[in-house]
Amino acid sequence: MKVAEMNWRDVEASAARDPRCVLPIGSTEQHAQLSLCVDLILAEKVAVDATNPLDIPVFPVMPYGLAPYFNAYPGTICLRVETLMAVVRDVIASLRRSGFRQILIVNGHGGNNPVGALAQELMAEYGDISIKFHNWWNAPKTWAKAQAIDKTGSHANWMENFPWTRLAHAPAPEGEKPVVDMNLMKASPPDVAREILGDGAFGGPWQRPDDEMLALWEVGVMEVREALEGPWPTIGDR
């Protein structure tokens, strides 16, 4: 249930009925021939698909994250760590003021992992909220499914190539790309990282059959739903 389809009275009633809500966070960054918005598209869609039968609100996806290694690619938007932390801190405070006490952060971008540490800090600060930080793509069951399909699953390759992240004018190349030296890439400034990565994919097949991708997606949605369904700790009065 997207908050974009709700008004303030709807949100007030939702928080009074159920303490749970979802905050998706993503990134706007290069993904080879795929959309620059892959991470935010996937974070929001997996959250919405997971909440559809549960009647739990999904707040608008945070479209920007931490992606300094891709700064040499046009279109990449990179926040500073302190900026992302400040924004998420303020958003969580607002969700708490709205009455939500069980907050699931669905993350679509590995660079945003510091938000997981912030979640622990915020729970210690407030004491009356529970926050789960969920990397949807590498949650245990989803990652196991991806590994069963192809162990090369990584940035901008087949693992992020869903029907809803593709661009009609930019089809995937045929075959697969040699896996890049990730240690070298991570030790390089952005201009050198671009030279190493070329199109931006980390290597492996650019695309796999849609039936495999939809099967992977079903596991990802199920695992987000399981995180929402609990268990959640019992904390304070609502």
Would the pTM count as exceeding 0.75? Answer: yes
Q: Determine, yes or no, domain membership for 77.
A: yes
The dihedral region occupied by 17, where left means phi > 0, alpha psi between -120 and 50, and beta the remainder, is alpha
- Residue pLDDT, tens place only, 182-207: 999 999 999 999 999 999 999 999 99
Predicted confidence band at 236 (pLDDT cuts at 50, 70, 90)? low
Give the pLDDT confidence score for residue 234 in this predicted structure: 87
Higher pLDDT, 236 or 123: 123
Instruction: Check which CATH number belongs to the domain holding 151 and give it.
Output: 3.40.50.10310
On the question of pLDDT at 48 being above 90, the answer is yes
Is the predicted pLDDT of residue 69 greater than 70, yes or no?
A: yes
Any domain includes 235: no
CA atoms of 2 and 80, how far apart (whole Å): 28
Structural domain contains residue 204: yes
CB within 8 Å of 209: residues ≥ 6 apart: none
DSSP letter for 128, please: S
Mean pLDDT computed over 112-130? 98
What pLDDT score does 238 carry?
41
Is residue 22 over pLDDT 60?
yes
Which residues in 6-77 belong to E strands, given as ranges? 20-25
117 within a domain of the structure (yes/no): yes
Contact 64, 44 (CB under 8 A): no
Q: What is the mean pLDDT of residues 223-236?
A: 92
Question: Does pLDDT of 219 surpass 60?
Answer: yes
3-state secondary structure of 40: helix
Does any domain span residue 168?
Answer: yes
Q: What is the mean pLDDT of residues 211-235?
A: 96
> For the chain, how many structural domains are there in total?
1
d(CA 50, CA 231): 16
Pairing relationship of beta strands 204-205 and 176-177 according to DSSP bridges: antiparallel
Q: What is the mean pLDDT of the chain?
A: 97
61 within some domain: yes
Residues 6 or more apart from 113 whose CB is under 8 A from it?
107, 135
Q: Does residue 181 fall inside a structural domain?
A: yes
Strand partners, 134: 106
The predicted model gives 92-99 an average pLDDT of 98
Give 91's contacts (C-beta < 8 A, 6+ positions apart): 23, 59, 62
Beta bridge partners of 167: none
Q: Domain range for residue 83? A: 3-229
Of residues 117, 128, 138, the one with CA closest to residue 216: 138
| pLDDT at 237 exceeding the cut of 60 | no
Q: 235 falls in which pLDDT band (50, 70, 90)?
A: confident
20 part of a folded domain: yes
Q: What is the mean pLDDT of residues 47-53?
A: 97
